[in-house]
A and B are shown apart, each in its own frame.
Chain A
């Protein structure tokens, strides 16, 4: 069980991380550190390996080479989730469809018997309020829209009171206003409980809005890590193209 003396954000160190699937390299040697309490954004196009990276950090996948440490403890080979409280907000939400929204949010607390049934009810209501979904406890996930599912998933992660929280594309599929709410919540959470946050996204607005530091990832490699300002001023052509791309459609039809 997660011990409370380990409160506050954790430090993440990634060393020489490599992973291939079926001979196809997806992560090609990643090295970086995330400081306790930092909001670290990994930005890159689809298919660059961002989700795979997050799964390695929380121990769902094991690396072919390299290691990941949480406060100096290796993630692989130990039961890291026993020692530190971590949470991941999955891209699709990954809510348990057989449970109600409220049961989903309270699942960590009820399965590990950390709180009384009454307290769990209270915490669930509080976390749902926080993501703007009051009084949805008794709905089932199948009754919710994609964006609502994602916010429930965020509430479920918050109920863990995590020391590390991983977000996989938290604003994808959200309308611009909900996206801003989520962005604010990510930022405020970092301020409020000094959780270490790692956000994976291709949403530039979110990245530049919440990040302490940004890593630019292309095709399984990190090209650059720096403050939002440093990223903006980068002269690397691929990075410039990605960070300044605009919605100017090429409207000349190529069809005959």
Chain B
């Protein structure tokens, strides 16, 4: 997996160089955005609601026992926006969209569609990779905002309805507003942008390097998902540390 990191960095660099051409690919970016939203919104909603709920369920009774139920909103709020929202959504999107990127581009590779593009002097990086990378970089942070909001709601709902916790909506969000600063949300968004680039670059790179016929496509898809999840978790630590250094 790691011997490809150089190639992936190169691919990313080529996309950065191609950024001035992005406007020409706007239609494909929109198509991709639509596809990502369509494939993931419902799942993101369910996932976030339950993650927020479980978070409240786990921490709530412990805090109540110690008479600290007033800080529950802050705890759920912070964990959701700095860690769980970005990481959960990235893992979900890696499985749902990173895999699709590897499969689509991989099958184009296997069935010589990419060769055909090259003979027509169309750069596959501009035509295939750039729009996907742009779309996921826009979509994932948006999805994370959505996930954070839904997660907070889930946490608040469980806190209010569970008899062992019994923290009202008002006090939950009151504490959350005190603790969570806009910069904490930005922190989560910055991370999710990093994760989006990982998913996009890994998925497209795996697709482009597919070999060995139709069976190769399956291998590329599996590798794309596994590798991007591993890289996301490693980068999560690195980015968290970096953001701390810069006091964000």
Q: With A and B bound together, what is the CA distance between A90 and B114 in angstroms?
A: 12
* Mask: chain A, 87-124; 1 = CB below 8 Å from B; 0 = not: 11010101111100000000110011000000000000
Min CB distance B102 to A, Å, is 15
Contact indicator B113/A94 (Cβ below 8 Å)? yes
Min CB distance B25 to A, Å, is 10
Contact indicator A82/B115 (Cβ below 8 Å)? no
Min CB distance B200 to A, Å, is 18
B169 at the interface (CB under 8 A from A): no
B107 closest partner in A (C-beta):
A97
B118 at the interface (CB under 8 A from A): yes
Please name all residues of chain B whose beta carbon is closer than 8 Å to the beta carbon of A98 when the two chains form the complex.
104
Number of contacting residues on B, CB 8 A? 15
Contact indicator B119/A92 (Cβ below 8 Å)? no
Q: With A and B bound together, what is the CA distance between A52 and B223 in angstroms?
A: 29
Q: With A and B bound together, what is the CA distance between A253 and B111 in angstroms?
A: 38
B120 closest partner in A (C-beta):
A108
- Supposing A97-B111, A111-B127 touch, asked if A90 and B116 sit within 8 A by C-beta, the answer is yes
A99 closest partner in B (C-beta):
B113
Contact indicator A107/B121 (Cβ below 8 Å)? no
B114 closest partner in A (C-beta):
A94
Main secondary structure of the interface of A (DSSP, over half): loop
Contact indicator B119/A58 (Cβ below 8 Å)? yes
B115 touches which of A87, A94, A97 (Cβ 8 Å): A94
B121 touches which of A60, A95, A112 (Cβ 8 Å): A112
Q: With A and B bound together, what is the CA distance between A220 and B111 in angstroms?
A: 24
Q: With A and B bound together, what is the CA distance between A112 and B127 in angstroms?
A: 11
Min CB distance B118 to A, Å, is 6
Min CB distance B214 to A, Å, is 13
A-B contact pairs, 16 of them (CB 8 A): A60-B115, A81-B118, A86-B119, A90-B112, A90-B115, A94-B112, A94-B115, A94-B116, A95-B116, A96-B113, A97-B111, A107-B120, A107-B122, A108-B121, A111-B122, A160-B120
A-B CB proximity, top 9 nearest: A81-B121, A94-B116, A94-B112, A88-B119, A108-B120, A111-B122, A96-B113, A58-B119, A90-B112
